[in-house]
Amino acid sequence: MALRLPPFQPLPPPPPEQPLLEVPVARLRPTQLCIGLAEVRSRQADFQAESNRERRQYLGSKPVPLVRGGDGSLWMVDRHHRLRALLELLPEATAFGYVALDLPEAEPEAVLAELHRRGWLYLYDGRGLGPLSPHALPATLLGLQDDPYRSLVWKLKREGVVQAAPLIPFHEFRWGAWLRSRPLPPFSSERLEPALPMARALARSSAAAHLAGWNGLD
């Protein structure tokens, strides 16, 4: 299974001369339909172990690339797992971001069309179905669906079975789509263990060598 994603324009880094914006997390509009809840729960544990000062310093070191519409709407183009975790813990939480793209259009349809043209939308749902209409995107991070295959790939990355590929858009979802096409025992984001042995073997096999982040054979 291959994701039918449009060509991706790289996101610009934060402008060094501009201060970061501090924005309410609840105000940010997602640009993808799903996340892996296993990663969300892990990030929540990290946040709970930090002081407020440590959390703010961390968030400042990981600013969110934002697209700002003409009506002031803010669409986040990354950091969905991190900020979904934070929003569940602290509904009034703020995060730091920078404007990667300023659009004059105020209508959501025009903003979404430009995001889609740049390859800055992920329009597959938690079951891997898509691409869906951009209008299927939820209004807030709390509306994101769980994709257990995204959770599975997150775990494989933590174990070093799959390597990071930060320049590849939706890298983990590409791996998840490939694993979804393979026979795995039933599992969930809350219980990844049944699928992990087979997923590790598949991810290390030559059949996965075409995927970015392949770590080679045992």
Q: Is 161 left (phi over 0), alpha (psi -120 to 50) or beta?
A: alpha
Please give the average per-residue pLDDT across 65-83, as a whole number.
Answer: 96
Put simply, whether the predicted model's pTM sits higher than 0.75 gets the answer yes
Indicate if the pLDDT at residue 58 is higher than 90: yes
Tens digits of residue pLDDT in 175-205 = 999 999 999 999 999 999 999 999 999 999 9
Query: Considering Cα of 5, then 82, then 146, then 217, what sign does the dihedral take?
Result: positive
Q: Which residues of 171-185 are buried (b: 16+ CB within 10 A; e: fewer)?
A: bbbbbbbbbbeeebe
pLDDT value at residue 106: 87
Question: CATH topology for 21-146?
Answer: 3.90.1530
Which among 58, 60, 38 is positioned nearest to 47, based on CA atoms?
58
- DSSP for 165-215, please give it: -TTSTTHHHHHHHHHHTS-----BTTB-GGGHHHHHHHHHSGGGTTSTTB-
Please give the average per-residue pLDDT across 71-99, as a whole number.
Answer: 97
Tens digits of residue pLDDT in 93-127 = 999 999 999 999 989 999 999 999 999 999 999 99
Domain range summary for the chain, segments of one domain joined by +: 21-146, 148-208
Please give the average per-residue pLDDT across 40-65, as a whole number.
Answer: 96
Indicate if the pLDDT at residue 217 is higher than 80: no
pLDDT value at residue 20: 96
pLDDT value at residue 5: 78
Dig out the tokens for 139 from the structure: 């209004």
Tens digits of residue pLDDT in 127-181 = 999 999 999 999 999 999 999 999 999 999 999 999 988 778 889 999 999 999 9
pLDDT value at residue 165: 84
In whole angstroms, what is the distance from residue 67 CA to residue 92 CA? 21
Indicate if the pLDDT at residue 206 is higher than 90: yes
In whole angstroms, what is the distance from residue 60 CA to residue 119 CA? 25
Split at pLDDT 50, 70, 90, the class of 2 is low
CATH of domain 148-208: 1.10.8
- Residue whose entry in the numeric block shows the structure tokens 């979804």: 180
In whole angstroms, what is the distance from residue 138 CA to residue 140 CA? 6
Which among 81, 65, 84 is positioned nearest to 26, based on CA atoms?
84
Three-state SS annotation for 80-148: HHHHHHHHHHCCCCEEEEEEEEECCCCCHHHHHHHHHHCCCCECCCCCCCCCCCHHHCCCCHHHCEECH
